[in-house]
Structures are given as structure tokens and as C-alpha cells.
Amino acid sequence: MTAKKYTLIQLFFVLCIIVFSIIDVYMYFSGTFEAKKVTLKYQEDNDIDYKVYLKKNDFFETKYLGKGETYITSLIDHINVDYNYKIDFDSLINGSYTYYVYATVESNKSNGQSKYWSKDYKITDEKKVDLKKSTGFSVHENVDIDYNKYNNILLSFKKTLGLSGANGILRVYFAVNSEVEGNQVSTPIESKLLLALPLSEQTIEAKVDLDAHDTVKEVSKVINADRARVSKVLGTIYAAAIVFLIILIIFIDKKKKNLNKYESALKKILNTYDGIIVNINKIPDLTGFRIIDVSSFEELLDAHGEVRMPINFYRGEDKCYFILVSEKTAWKYKMSRMNVQNLKI
């Protein structure tokens, strides 16, 4: 291989080092492949309002009683409930949500610690709404609850099974379930607004549960984790490749210097002693000759001074031979670019 080819290889390796270095620097400073935490925050604002409508009676002049009062069961006609649900996000979201109202009748032991039985009843059909580039949504649902229907269900259960001491409760849920995606975070959000009403009692008081009303919540996840691991592996490979290429460049540079020294020494010999050197195409057959390997061209010149014969020169790819032949003796000097550090002219 010539010095020019060595130089071209070195230039190619230098170009690879530059490219790998640019990639490594970009991956380090751009943060494109870094694992990072993203968060979607949201706040729910819920409310339940209700009116207890009364049967015709001689005691109350109003048609209904408002929220937060004590109600006489025998005078209840129906209960009108207003459910209001609102949710706001800190970034644009896409997705959908569904909502519906259902009731649960439940029978418990008198101490309230154990449940005998419960059953769900659908009040409204499920409705679905799609969301696109929204910062939130609000839902309003107004329903009439036939309190006496569910109260009779419980009374029938108690009478049939002889559970006179059992307590009962009617739970009316407004369920809002959403599936949203925003700020690279996908999450389901399930919310329930509850109105609880005792059953089989002479008087009742309603209880409202708004399920974490008016609190800020957040959903987080780590993104680019896999890409970050891959980038670390690639960064290590690129760094190792750069070190390896630098070592190769140094090695090639050393070989090129040896080649230059070899070529320079050979050129000096051929120019200086052109008159006594003969080029040959192949190494002569020295079978039967006494072969003397000399360690320097000067020793070969000393032998030439004695026999006065031309010095044969044969050039190979990485080494060359100078051979001096007399009647039955041959002197041979080998030059090699591999051990140019020991070259003696």
C-alpha cells in the first residue's frame, strides 16, 4: 500500500470522527433523547342540588323542601336532583367522556357493619361526548328519583326474608368517566357524585359526597425512557468508535512514516549505486549455493568489492532483496518496511 492510500484512509477516519463527534454533541446538548417527566394537571368542580317534592298534605304549604333539611318519608312524592360536574385541564386535551345516573339499593345489618344485599338500577342511559383540543368540559344532568319505588323494594326484601331489623340506604350516583390525552399524557378519569338517602325510616336526611371536590390532581409519566437508554448505548458506541479510530489513525501514521523511511532509504541506495545494481523479475534459484544473510547494505558492498559481480535487486510488496552471486556463494540482504526501525544501509 502506498503512502497516498494511507493518507486517504486517515482522511476517511478523521471524517468519521467528526461525524461521530457531532452526533454525540447533538445528543448531549439537544436533550432530544433525554428521559423527562411530563404532567397533566386537572381540577374538578362538582355540585349536587336537590329538591324533595311532597305529596298533597295538610301540613306543608310549599310543594317541595330544599337541600339539607329533614324529610318525612311518608310525605315524599319524588326527589328532583341537579348534578353539575366540571373539569379543567392545564393544557389542551383530546379524548371523550361518558356520563349516566344509576341507583344502588343496599340492605345492611342494624349496626351498619355488614351488608345483606345490594342491587344497581339504571336511571339514565349512558351518553358519550368527544373532545378535541379542549381545556375541559362541564356536564349537567337533572333527574327525578322515585324514592317510594326504591323504598318499597327494600321493604319487600326485608318482609320476604324476615329481616325486620335491617337498615337500608339508597345511593344515587352520577358517574362521569373520561379518557383524555394531553401534554403527552394519556389517562382515564373516573368521578362519581353521590346522593345518599336512608330507606325504611320515618324521617331521613340526605348526604352528599362530591368525590374530591375542587382539588388539583395530576397524572405524570416519564417519556423517552427507551430512547434515552438507546442514546446512552449509542453515545458509548460512538465514543468507543472515536477512540478506536484515533488509535487506527496513529497506527496508520506510524506505518506511513515507516513506509516513507523505507522508500527514502531504498531510493537512496538505488540512486547511489545504480551502476552496480541490476533489476530482476524473480529471485534466482540458489539451490546448492552457500547463502550468507548480511544485516546491512554496507556488508553487501564489502562482498561486492571482493567478487566484482553485479548486485541483483528484486522488489516485493512490503520488502525487497539485494542478492550478490559468485561461483558457489550468494550474499543476500533483505529490506522490509515492517522492521524499518532496524534498517541499516
Q: Are 239 and 23 in contact (CB under 8 A)?
A: no
- Check residue 73 and give its pLDDT: 94
Rounded-to-integer distance, Cα 175 and Cα 47, Å: 13
Mean pLDDT of 237-250: 82
- Check residue 185 and give its pLDDT: 87
Mean pLDDT of 285-312: 91
- Check residue 342 and give its pLDDT: 56
Task: Give yes or no for residue 227 having a pLDDT over 70.
Answer: no
Mutual orientation of helices 225-272 and 3-30 as an angle, nearest 10°? 160
> Which band of pLDDT confidence, cut at 50, 70 and 90, is reported for residue 290?
very high
Task: Give yes or no for residue 87 having a pLDDT over 90.
Answer: yes
- Which position has the grid cell 446512552? 232
Domain residue extents for the chain = 1-35+224-264, 36-219, 273-342
Task: Give yes or no for residue 254 having a pLDDT over 80.
Answer: no
Q: According to the 3-state scheme, what is the secondary structure of 124-159?
A: CCCEEEEEEEEEEEEEEEEEEECHHHHHHHHHHHHH
Task: Give yes or no for residue 318 having a pLDDT over 60.
Answer: yes
Among residues of the chain, what percentage have pLDDT more than 90? 51
- Alpha-helix residue ranges (DSSP H) falling in the chain: 3-30, 147-161, 225-272, 297-307
Q: Which residues contact 165 (CB under 8 A, 6 or more apart)?
A: 109, 110
- Check residue 313 and give its pLDDT: 94
C-alpha cell at 217: 390532581
pTM above 0.75, yes or no: no
Residues paired with residue 179 on neighbouring β-strands, in sequence order: 96, 188
Q: Could you report the per-residue pLDDT of 169-226, keeping only the tens digit for each?
A: 999 999 999 999 998 888 999 999 999 999 988 999 999 988 766 678 888 887 765 6
DSSP output for 323-345: EEE-SSEEEEEEEESTTGGG---
Q: Which residues contact 337 (CB under 8 A, 6 or more apart)?
A: 255, 258, 259, 262, 318, 319
C-alpha cell at 86: 366540571
> Which band of pLDDT confidence, cut at 50, 70 and 90, is reported for residue 112?
low
CB burial of 275-305 (b: ≥16 within 10 Å; e: otherwise) equals eebeeeeeeeeeeebeeeebeebeebbebbe
Of 71, 80, 84, nearest to 51 by C-alpha is: 80
Query: Degrees (nearest 5) of the Cα angle 220, 226, 227?
Result: 105
Of 127, 151, 149, 122, nearest to 140 by C-alpha is: 127
Rounded-to-integer distance, Cα 114 and Cα 95, Å: 40
DSSP output for 302-327: HHHHHH--PEEEEE-SSEEEEEEE-S
Mean pLDDT, the chain, as a whole number? Answer: 86
- Check residue 250 and give its pLDDT: 83
Residues paired with residue 235 on neighbouring β-strands, in sequence order: none
Q: Pick the most confident of 46-55, 105-114, 220-229.
A: 46-55
Rounded-to-integer distance, Cα 150 and Cα 200, Å: 10
Q: Are 192 and 175 in contact (CB under 8 A)?
A: yes
Q: Are 168 and 115 in contact (CB under 8 A)?
A: no
Task: Give yes or no for residue 246 having a pLDDT over 70.
Answer: yes
Rounded-to-integer distance, Cα 153 and Cα 103, Å: 12
